[in-house]
Amino acid sequence: MNHGWYDEMWNPMTGADRSEIRSEIRNHCNRFSGDVRLNLSFADSYEEEEPGYYVLNSPVQSPNSDKHFLIAPFGVAPTFHEYRLETPKSKYITGRTLYVNPYAETFDMPVSWIDRVMQVIYTQRQHNYVLISGDFHEMKEYFESRPAFLLCENLWLGFRVTERTASFLPWLQIKEEKSHFFIDIDEATNETVSMLETYVNAPGSMAHQMEWILVGVKEDDASKNLLMRIAEIADRLSIPVFFDTEGADLPRVLPKAFMRHTLSDKKKAMLWANCARCKAEKAKSMMYRIGWTKGRGCGMTKLGFLCEECFAEYQKHFPFF
């Protein structure tokens, strides 16, 4: 389900490598797994990299549909969907904001899997990629062990704030480089909001590098005052805040970068072309299409495109135009 702050989910990994699995991941993976025992019988579609770790080479089709594929065919078991690595390049013709691995604990997964996902993020720069983790130690260790260029301008790293993780806020330090940092508040209690206020007021804290606050908390009589305090914090920091709450009269403001819709190579090939004479690359709508037809009702055979200046030169040879 799209909550309004992202365009699409992208799940190259599903599941979690831990005994305590976040309820959201557990519920979604189990809901969209189908019959795990049956799926494990399709031995040709996956490899077991090591016991309990699966690499899927092709999607597993739902037995109840000839059109739909299972999101997490092995339930909460750590799964790398290799075939989904092509999705950002092949599926979307304009830049999107992609929520990465909502059904997985990304930084608990094998490093080789994370590397391949990060390589796609780095090469397919037309999209914004949003990664949220509740374990900043794992996230920090991963990026400190990797080249700085992976922290590119289209990567948004979020820290998930809950009752349990709020106590880590004062020590939160994540390598950023060109990437963006934000927090995702999953639980609004007196404890979490008070820790957030302390974090923001502490001199030298990373709070002043935050560029966005995402709040996934339902509004009720008990939480209304707490949510207003979060809105005031965002206002004090002059950053956008998005309350993922239906029907609430609260801000739903996205970072300006999320409004960007860069053309993908596929879309650009459809809408842009090179001038046949000077080779300049321009939008087809701004150029003259050159071609020929024969007979009535025939479609034109397209020879190419000419920019304004080159068409003026071309006309000199055909004064009757």
Is 292 a domain residue? yes
pLDDT of residue 45: 83
Q: Of the given ranges (21-35, 96-110, 149-163), which has the lowest mean pLDDT?
A: 21-35
Is 46 a domain residue? yes
267: pLDDT confidence band, cut at 50, 70 and 90?
Answer: low
- In whole angstroms, give the CA distance from residue 318 to residue 55: 62
Q: Are residues 100 and 77 in the same domain?
A: yes
Is 19 a domain residue? yes
- In whole angstroms, give the CA distance from residue 78 to residue 152: 26
Q: Are residues 105 and 16 in the same domain?
A: yes
pTM of the entire structure? 0.80
Domain containing residue 306: 265-315
Phi–psi pair at 266, nearest 5 degrees: -65, -45
Q: Taking the CB of residue 249, how many other CB atoms lie within 10 A of it?
A: 8
Task: Please give the residue that has the higher pLDDT: either 123 or 245.
Answer: 123
247: pLDDT confidence band, cut at 50, 70 and 90?
Answer: low
Q: Is 72 exposed, middle or buried (0-12, 13-18, 19+ CB in 10 A)?
A: buried
Is 320 a domain residue? no
Q: Are residues 251 and 281 in the same domain?
A: no
Q: How many domains in the chain?
A: 2
Q: Of the given ranges (164-173, 227-236, 244-253), which has the lowest mean pLDDT?
A: 244-253
Q: Are residues 122 and 203 in the same domain?
A: yes
Q: Are residues 243 and 283 in the same domain?
A: no
Span 154-173, average pLDDT: 88
- In whole angstroms, give the CA distance from residue 209 to residue 211: 6
